[in-house]
Structure 1
Amino acid sequence: MSFTVREALELPQLKGAGILAGKSGSERTIEHVTVVDAPDAINWLRGGELVLTTAYVMREDPVALLDFVKKLAKTKAAALGIKLGRFIDNISDEIRDFADKAGFPIINIPFEVAWIDVITPVLTEVVERQASILKRSMDIHTQFIDSVISGGEMADVMRLLSSQIGSSTCVTDMKGNVIASCLKGDSKDEAEKAEWERMAKAASGQDAASEPWEMFPGMYRIAVRPSDGRAEYTLIEAQCGQDGTRWGKVLALEEPGRAFSRMDAISVSHAVTVASLEMLRIKAAENVERRFRSSFWDDFLNGRFENWEDIVKRGRSFSVDLTSPNVLLAISADGEKPGQATLIGSDGGLLQDEVIRLATQYGTRFWGAQVTCFAYMGGAAVIAPWTGACDPIEAKRRSMELARHLHSKVDAAIAPFTVSIGVGRFDSDPQKAGRSYKEAYECIVVGSSTLGSDRVSHFDELGAYRVFSRCAGRDEMERFAAEELGPLEEYDTRHNTELLFTLEKYLDAGGSLQQAADSAYVHVNTLRYRLGRIEAILGSELSDSEVRFTLSMAIRIRKYLSATR
């Protein structure tokens, strides 16, 4: 479809023209024609031009003419047309050698041929070819759009692209996982298809090297050199997405000995447009389902349903059986808060969605049954069906094994992000599943601030904090903590001291002065002085076990209130 230097020389108007040097570049594409007789005019070339010149200003400077030719080649001009016999009689051997090595055609334009007689027929051919390309491009675009409108899916888009470019194609996510593929000639050979999908996935691996594809802006040529000794191959890659967010890639296998043409590149670009629209449609549908799933789980936890049969029916539509016992876990990326939308990876996906996908995938494999996850409160609710005997001890052991497995797998997959996982207590009554999940979620909310993040914790491990969660009198707890600790907090604020911190370390150390001093990074004498100040401010003796118990409880209540605020 493109108009080449070779074809330009076949025009009747250029019958007497010939290539002086750089004949290997005769297939270079001509996109424009321009006349240049000033050396600095080269700065305004865009590439693809047939540059015409008399070389008048360089007639007495062969070095300047050589530099002019080199700059033309660097700017990717199509060719140089020069008139010999008026101002220069021939080109130097240095210019010939450079043009031959660079594959840059230098054409001798007959002295009697006017520039207009070159410009008009060449531009006419260029415009006609471009019009033909535009029409063909529109036809291709229409075919892709019709394919989707008629109910076609991603596989149909790849099948159409494969038929247009005569090669194997596929679309993948940003991690290289194949979404849909089609073999050359629409072959149904499963072994061949599996091999092609392996090759496509390898394009995202360490054996692949990519570079911009000159044929089309924004596309890349990927050379894959397998380290296992398999044959090398080349792929063309174009990314799918919208507004800077990348969702996936379209890949096409470049057959040995057959480089893709400009029209092939245009076909790929149209396939990318339609694939991006299809991905957007899929994401929109996923978001709607995500909202329905989250709404179901929220209704279940908060008792917003007419009767038990109604919620059981809704649960089945999401692969959750509420007629049998379930194990409940809560998982959340550390630092992720409800309403927050942390992005992860090159595709700009939500961290929460990635955690849900991984928990579902690894959980189901480990559990041996379908594990279901719901997006909830910035993290995920994990529901695993319990099919064993209703033994709380065994259920706790197995649920902790599941939680530790998920923690290991998910942490590794989303690094440097980390997750915390909470496990609720098992109850043989399916209707108590909501309470079990709330316990699991509390492990994350309270446990992260008291036990630390990036860990697995069971509700039983919360100790006294379990009691706090069952207390309805939050105001009373706040008053209690303020009465016991308020004087220390006020003193610390006014004098920029750490008496409350010191008290906490002392109580955590069980009254051991040396252990508390080490934990607070102070000398024992400093610790003794601080404890004396604390006793004076509170008007209490720390040697009294009841005082220590009351203060320890107040500190824990303070932490609980802070974590659940």
Structure 2
Amino acid sequence: MTTLEQLLDLPRFSDLEILSAHKNLERKVESVEITETPDVANFIPKNAIVLTTAMIYKDDQSKMKHLLDTLVSKDVAALGIKVGRFIDDIDQDVVDYASKVDVPIVKVPSSQPLGRLLYQMLSYIWDAKTEQLTYALDIQKRFSGLLMHDVNLSRFIAELGKIINAPVILLSPWHKVISNSQYFSRSDHPASFYIEQIDDHHYDKINEGNSSFIVKDLKGENVQVLGYPVNVDTYFPFHLIILKPEQIPYPVSEFAIEQAILVLTFILFKNYKVDEFFDIMKSDFLSQLIKAKTDQTHDHRNWVDLGSRYGLVHSKYYRLALAYCVPNKDNKTKLIYRQEEAAIAKKWLEAQLPLRIKNVIIFKVKNTNEIALLFQSQEPDANKVLQTLADELKEALSIQLCFAFGNPYEAITNISSSFIEAKSALDEATRLFNPNVVNYYHPKGLVGLFENTNEESIHYYCEKILKDLAYPNDQSQKELRNTLKHYLDYNCEITKTATALYLHRNTIKYRIKQCEKLLGLSVKDPENSLNLRLALELSESGNESSEQAEPGA
């Protein structure tokens, strides 16, 4: 990178003089332009030196202030004004204004043709860029060689730190240190010391491109930081952090660092694909394990041996839980975001959960965004651990996790039952506006099986079984319904039914016969009894309670 200070220090430009006052002349110079038009800012690139004779300002130099204002937005490196042709000198108030808006004014003597000055400056800049480009390509070859030799991330980051002569840190999408250069092995404080000072605002700036900002060292002194996004996913990038970029030697350029990031992206992407293939194998194994109880061909499989490569162990405790990323109104319909969100949550759990709970296996559930957690030992603090992990992930990436547990079982083949229960608990939790972080399966009973059935179907079923007794309006039919319900509740025992309703036994017998006549079936038949009990329960909400005792007959 060529700077204004480097350019003006060259002997060939020794006759150029900076008139305005500036604290820092380390300004990037990428181009040189000649112009005599006042709207030149609309047509030049950023970081350019603008050369002019100021012909149009010869009668009123104060108008040059507006030109300076327009050049500020283009991050112009300097405004070079040739004197001795149209203006003999530059007014002091223009120089003072240039100092105020921080645009250096360079006085070009009349002996220096602007065309030759343009050519000399551009030649130097282009030579520097050619050298930087050549070096960047050499770096790319070097890193590509590392990629072909299947180096790991730690080795790559160590090599990058050596090449650019600056501390380098690679962060996960949830902003934890994955790897760092060897600088930190000689440092008094770890890489995490600096990373903890980077907040969400900094990460937002980095994700927009690259960003430079300041953190503090142990002595409280400023340390410049460069941050780059490493986009393996669309929404959850890794981050490359470079400390003290002022130490980066020439001819290492921005382009060279971009080449390193490109190779780093390939390494991370390759690792993603390897993990993805392994996840598919794990998901297939889980699917087979869940189906084992109903698939007779798998009766004699040794599931522990088959699953040992995934972490399956012999145990008397197997419990399955499902994890799910709770959507919000902004991302609910973003399918790619939801997929990447689930993938990041899984990697987060894989990195954090085994450190706090032993013998837990994490699976991706096939064809869903759900994550399965198989616990193989009883953990009294599991609820607390999962709550903590969910809070940490929400703070890091604004991802809200929800967990749903099935019941524990001793036999590994009963994992299918635990999975079904966990799925039921998760379905129930996700229907809530604000579900609990940790949810458990609760048996629903027979009526609970009809929770997701529409009311019209339930109404039809009840009327088909109970006929006029399903939703009676007549008082006598209400009495028959109430008697039938109690009769079935007391397992068809007339004496207990009569006692409960304060009625004579003969009255109960009569009413049951009336019910059988109305329904056209025997209420004592086991199948009929089950259907009647179910229909009575399902239709209960549509009837007023008739539980009050009737006067004796």
TM-score higher than 0.5 here? yes
- Alignment of 1:266 with 2:255, yes or no, is yes
Superimposed CA distance per residue, residues 206-235 of structure 1 (whole angstroms, 9 cap, x where no aligned partner):
7x857969xx99211132258x98554332
Change in 2 beyond 3 A, CA 1:175/1:234: farther
Q: Which residue of 2 aligns with 1:328?
A: 319
Counterpart contact for 1:211–1:221, Cα < 8 Å: no
C-alpha distance in structure 2 between counterparts of 1:296 and 1:407, whole Å: 24
Q: What is the 5 A alignment of 1:163-562?
A: 163-184=162-183, 188-189=185-186, 192=188, 195-205=189-199, 218-225=209-216, 231-242=221-232, 244-254=234-244, 258=247, 263-303=252-292, 308-321=300-313, 323-333=314-324, 350-357=340-347, 364=354, 367=357, 369-376=358-365, 378-386=369-377, 398=378, 401=380, 404-405=383-384, 408-412=387-391, 413-414=393-394, 417-427=400-410, 429-445=411-427, 453-454=435-436, 459=441, 461-464=443-446, 482-484=460-462, 534-536=471-473, 541=478, 544=482, 546=484, 550-551=534-535, 553-554=537-538
Is contact 1:168-1:253 (8 Å) kept? yes
Structure 1 pair 65–75 and aligned structure 2 pair: CA distance change class (3 A):
same
What are the Cα deviations for residues 383-430 of structure 1, in whole angstroms up to 9, with x where unaligned? Answer: 2224xxxxxxxxxxx57x456335533543446735241322423x33
Contact 2:387 2:437 (C-alpha < 8 Å) held by counterparts: no
- Counterpart of 2:276, as a letter, is N
Structure with the greater alpha carbon radius of gyration: 2
Give, in whole Å, the separation in 2 of the partners of 1:220 and 1:306: 56
| Distance across 1 between alignment mates of 2:18 and 2:432 | 81
Q: Whole-Å Cα distance in 1 between the matches of residues 111 and 325 of structure 2?
A: 79
Q: State the match for 1:494 in structure 2.
A: none
CA contact (8 A) 2:429 2:439 kept: yes
Aligned counterpart, 1:31: 30
The AA in structure 2 aligned to 1:419 is C
Question: Cα deviations across residues 502-521 of structure 1 (Å, max 9, x unaligned)?
Answer: xxxxxxxxxxxxxxxxxxxx
State the AA in 1 paired with 2:318: V
Change (3 A) 1:416 1:122: closer
**Which residue is equivalent to 1:563?**
none
Q: Map of 1:49-198 to 2, 5 A cutoff?
A: 49-101=48-100, 104-184=103-183, 188-189=185-186, 192=188, 195-198=189-192
Q: In structure 2, what is the Cα distance between the partners aligned to 1:297 and 1:28?
A: 59
CA change 1:360–1:539 in 2 (3 A) is farther
Sort the Cα spacing of 1:360 and 1:37 in 2 relative to 1 into closer, same or farther, 3 A: closer
Aligned residues: 479
CA distance in 2, matches of 1:75, 1:552: 79
- SS where residue 225 of structure 2 aligns? strand
Q: Is the Cα–Cα contact under 8 Å of residues 319 and 372 in structure 1 kept in the other structure?
A: yes
1:484 Cα deviation after fit:
0.7
Aligned to 1:326, the other structure's residue is in SS state coil
User: 1:283: how far off?
Assistant: 1.4
Root-mean-square deviation (CA, aligned residues, Å) is 4.5
> Does the Cα contact within 8 Å between 1:300 and 1:311 map onto a contact in 2?
yes
Task: State the Cα deviation string for residues 317-363 of structure 1 (Å, max 9, x = none).
Answer: 11112x43232122242778xxx998799x97644345545655665
Alpha-carbon distance in 2 for matches of 1:456, 1:545: 43
Distance (Å, rounded) in 2 between the aligned partners of 1:33 and 1:361: 51
Q: Deviations over 1:287-336 (max 9, x none)?
A: 11111111001112213665634533221111112x43232122242778
Cα displacement (A) at 1:179: 1.1
- What SS does structure 2 have at the residue aligned with 1:316? helix
Q: Is the 8 A contact 1:443 1:462 kept in 2?
A: no
What is the CA–CA distance in structure 1 between the aligned matches of 2:536 and 2:223, rounded to whole Å? 68
Q: Percent identity?
A: 15
Q: Tell me the distance in 2 between the aligned counterparts of 1:288 and 1:33.
A: 52
Q: Is the 8 A contact 2:81 2:107 kept in 1?
A: yes
Shift of 1:286: 1.6
Q: Please, what TM-score do these two structures have when normalized by structure 2?
A: 0.72
CA shift for structure 1 position 61? 0.8
- Distance change (3 Å), C-alpha of 1:342 and 1:273: farther
| CA distance 1:402–1:451, shift in 2 (3 Å) | farther
- 1:555 CA displacement: 6.3
Tell me: CA distance 1:22–1:87, structure 2 relative to 1, closer, same or farther (3 Å).
Answer: same
Shift of 1:126: 2.1
Query: Cα gap change, 1:70/1:447 in structure 2, threshold over 3 Å: closer, same or farther?
Result: closer
| Distance in 2, Cα, partners of 1:556 & 1:333 | 35
Amino acid at match of 1:326: Y
Unaligned runs of 5+ in 1: 387-397, 489-531, 558-565
What is the distance in 2 between the residues matched to 1:447 and 1:217? Answer: 36
2:7 alignment counterpart: 7
